[in-house]
A = this chain, B = another copy of it.
Amino acid sequence: MKFTVQKDHLVKAVQDVMRAVSSRTTIPILTGIKLVVTNEGLTLTGSDSDISIESYLPTIVDDQQLVDVKQPGSIVLNARYFSDIVKKLPADFVELESDSHYVTTIRAGKTEFSLNGFDAEEYPLLPQIEEHETISISADLLKFMIRQTVFAVSTSETRPILTGVNWKIENGELTCIATDSHRLALRQAKIDNNALTNEFKASVVIPGKSLNELSKILDDNNEKVDIVLTEHQALFKTKHILFFTRLLEGNYPDTSKLIPSESKTELTVMTKEFLQAIDRASLLAREGRNNVVHLETKGNTLVNISSYSPEIGKVVDEIACEDIKGEELKISFSAKYVMDALKAIESPEIYIQFTGAMRPFLIRTVNDSRTLQLILPVRTY
Contact = CB atoms under 8 A, between A and B. Distances in A.
A277 B312 contact: no
Nearest to A110: B318
Interface in A58-106: 78, 81, 84-85, 88-90, 103
Interface string A141-185: 000000000000000000000000000000000000000000000
A380 interface: no
Contacts of A280: 85, 88-90, 111, 113
A46 B95 CA distance: 57
Contact of A112 (B110, B114, B311, B315): B315
Contacts of A113: 280, 284, 313-315
A283 B318 contact: no
A279 B279 CA distance: 43
A81 B284 contact: yes
Given A81-B284, A85-B283, A88-B283, A115 B312 contact: yes
Contacts of A276: 88, 90
Interface string A1-16: 0000000000000000
A96 to B, nearest CB: 13
A317 interface: yes
Copies in the complex: 2
A255 to B, nearest CB: 34
Nearest to A316: B112
Interface in A289-315: 311-315
A116 interface: yes
A253 B24 CA distance: 46
A339 interface: no
Given A276-B90, A280-B85, A315 B116 contact: no
Given A88-B279, A276-B88, A279-B88, A315 B111 contact: yes
Contact of A110 (B90, B114, B115, B317): B317
A358 interface: no
Nearest to A90: B276
A216 to B, nearest CB: 24
A312 B311 CA distance: 56
A319 interface: yes
Contacts of A103: 313
Interface in A310-333: 311-319
A136 B287 CA distance: 46
Given A279-B88, A280-B88, A318-B110, A116 B81 contact: no
Interface string A266-293: 0000000000110110011000000000
Interface string A315-355: 11111000000000000000000000000000000000000
Contacts of A78: 312
7 contacts: A81-B283, A88-B283, A90-B276, A111-B277, A112-B316, A113-B284, A114-B315
